[in-house]
Amino acid sequence: MDLRGTVALVTGASSGIGAATARRLAREGVVVGLVARRWERLAALAEEIVGTGGAALVVEADLTDPVRAAGAVQEVVDTFGQLDILVNSAGVMLLDSALHASLEEWDRMVDLNVRALLHVTHAALPYLIAAATTAARGVADIVNISSTAGRVARPTSSVYNLTKFGMNGFSESLRQELLVERVRVCLIEPGVVGEVGDSMRGAAQRLVDGVEPLEPEDVADAIAYVVTRRRRVAINELCLRAANQTW
């Protein structure tokens, strides 16, 4: 499906999967709203996209604040007039045993991986439904970036597992609710991704030793595949592991 003329909002767009997804969608002709907390990185990405013939809007926002999350969605819609695709990529993974992890780290994961997801999705839904009704594609898309940690629980990742298992359940229920509205919901579950593996500590790092990680661009390609399917096709769940990852 041709995406030229559509508008996407990508959270967590300042780095990693979010930034790679914004670049990939821009190559498909999508106008991209770049949302994250780090203005300088967003501005550099927007300049890159515009320099290659695309269009992008920088929206600096802390999505754990429901008012600011709603404002970010509104800013994208006010600027471009519609919203066709929402990619919820913002997230954080802080792995350690329950004994050694801090409550602050647990709270950070719940705030960004769960609360921010809910804030943005709630604000975006009316505009996505409107796009599915009025835009030429006749469909809109929500893509939530989960993890293999939403399928398999492992040591050192109890609260991260909590957030991703929760995202999986939320996404499936939302998918069923939005069927009649022609808003597709897809859950992408990447395995070990390069930049994530590099940030692991101690026992968590030992889990990925010897695994050749995915690159953010691999996940971005999967997202592009999902949102370019014809209206009659809905990819509801896509698990994307590193080739030699066992779990």
| Cβ partners under 8 Å of residue 204, min gap 6 | 95, 96, 156, 157
Taking the model in full, what pTM does it have? 0.94
pLDDT at 198: 45
* pLDDT, one tens digit for every residue, the chain (247 residues): 999 999 999 999 999 999 999 999 999 999 999 999 999 999 999 999 999 999 999 999 999 999 999 999 999 999 999 999 999 999 999 998 899 999 999 999 999 999 999 999 999 999 999 999 999 999 999 999 999 999 999 899 999 999 999 999 999 999 999 999 999 999 999 999 986 544 455 555 666 778 899 999 999 999 999 999 999 999 999 999 999 988 8
- Show which residues are catalytic: 160
pLDDT at 190: 97
pLDDT at 228: 98
Sequence spans of domains, the chain: 7-240
pLDDT at 205: 64
Lookup: tokens for 244: 């030699």
pLDDT at 197: 45
CATH superfamily name and code, 7-240: NAD(P)-binding Rossmann-like Domain (3.40.50.720)
